[in-house]
Amino acid sequence: MPLLAGDGPFRVVASLAIDGIDRVASESAVVEWHWYYHGAAVPLWAILALALVGLRENRNFRAWLILIPLAVVLILWRTPMLLFGAGERTSQYVGAIVVAAAMSWALLWLIAPKLVHRSRAVTIFVMGVFLIVFGGLAIYVQGVELMPCLTIYGIAMLGAVLGMAIAARPNRRPFRPTRFAVWMFLGWLVITWMAIFGMFAFSLAGRCAELPASILIGQMIVVSVMASVLSLAGYAVQFPFLILAFNHPFYRDRFDAIFHIPKDVTTTAVVSEKDVVETNEDSGGSKPCDG
C-alpha cells in the first residue's frame, strides 16, 4: 500500500485474465486501512531523523529547514492528480515515486558533507548511486508494483544526475543560480528523452517496417509527451530543495562544496580614504602631500 494512502476504507477487486476469455473480476470487498499499517515505512523516516540528529554536521537548527521543501512536495503532489482526474492506480504509482524522490533529495542534502570528493565527477556519481538506491528502497517499502515504478524513477534520477553534471560543468563565467537551474532542467529533459526513446526504439526492434507511418508517428508523439511530463514532474519535485540550497547559507555552503563552486570574491566593500592611505603607507607608497 502506498505511503500516502491515508486512513479509511479501501475497495479491493480481484481480477483474472484467461487467454481467449475476457478479464473476469470478483465482487469488491471493503478493507479498513489504518494509518499505523504503514509501519514498513518507519525505517525510512527513522533514517531521515537519524541523519538530522546523528550527524555532527546537522547539529544545527538550520538543518531542519530541509523539512520545509519535503513537506511542500508531500502536500502538493496530489494537486495535479486531481486536476487531471488521474485514476486510483496511477495516483498510487505517482505517489510512491514522488515520496521516494522527495525523501531521497531530503536525505541527500543532509548527508551531503559526507559525499564531497575532490573530484566533482566522483561526487555527482556517488550522489546518483545514492538517489537510485535509497529511492528504490523507498518504493519497495510502499508496497506498489516494483518494475514500472522503479523504471520510471530510475529514468528520472538518471536525468537528474546527468542534468546536474551538465549544469555544473566548468565555466569561466561567474556562477549564477538561474543559469545552473536552467541548464540542469535542459540536461534532465534531453537525457530523459534519450532514455525513453531508446526504450521505445528497443520495443519496436524489427517491427518498424510493419507499422503504418501514421501509427508510428502517433506513438512517437505520445512518447515525446511522456518524456516531457516525466522531466517536468521530476524537476518540480527537486526544485523546492534547489531553492533552499540557493538561498540559505547553511545549504548553499553544501551546494558550493558539492559542485566545487568558488566563493564569490567580488563582494562590494566600502573602503574609506583613510584605509587607502594606510594601505599605501604599509606597502611603501608615498604619502599624500599636505597643502
Residues 6+ apart with CB under 8 A from 184: 160, 163, 164, 166, 167, 235, 242
* Percent with pLDDT over 90 in the chain: 39
Q: What is the mean pLDDT of residues 244-260?
A: 93
Between strands 29-33 and 8-12, the pairing is: antiparallel
Q: What is the mean pLDDT of residues 97-126?
A: 91
CB 60 within 8 A of CB 35: no
pLDDT score at 141: 84
CB 93 within 8 A of CB 145: yes
User: Which tens digits make up the pLDDT trace of 139-170?
Assistant: 888 877 788 889 999 999 999 999 999 998 87
Structure-model confidence comparison of residues 74 and 263, the more confident one: 74
CA separation for the pair 265, 282 (Å, rounded): 23
Is 168 exposed, middle or buried, given 0-12, 13-18 or 19+ CB atoms closer than 10 A?
Answer: buried
Structure-model confidence comparison of residues 216 and 135, the more confident one: 135
User: Which tens digits make up the pLDDT trace of 193-239?
Assistant: 999 888 877 777 766 666 677 777 888 888 888 889 889 999 999 99
CB 48 within 8 A of CB 27: no
10, β-bridge pairs? 31
Q: What is the mean pLDDT of residues 101-114?
A: 94
CB 207 within 8 A of CB 133: no
Q: What is the mean pLDDT of residues 86-93?
A: 75
User: Which tens digits make up the pLDDT trace of 60-87?
Assistant: 999 999 999 999 998 888 787 777 777 7
What is the residue-averaged pLDDT of the chain? 79
Q: What is the mean pLDDT of residues 19-32?
A: 63
Crossing angle, helix 213-247 and helix 88-110, to 10 degrees? 40
C-alpha cell at 235: 524537476
pLDDT score at 273: 43
User: Would you list the domain boundaries of the chain?
Assistant: 41-281
Residues 6+ apart with CB under 8 A from 207: none
SS3 21: strand
Tell how far CA 142 is from the center of its chain: 18
Q: Cα dihedral sign for 125, 130, 136, 138? A: negative
pLDDT score at 58: 93
CB 192 within 8 A of CB 220: no
* Residue in the block written with cell 522527495: 102
SS3 255: helix
CA separation for the pair 118, 121 (Å, rounded): 9
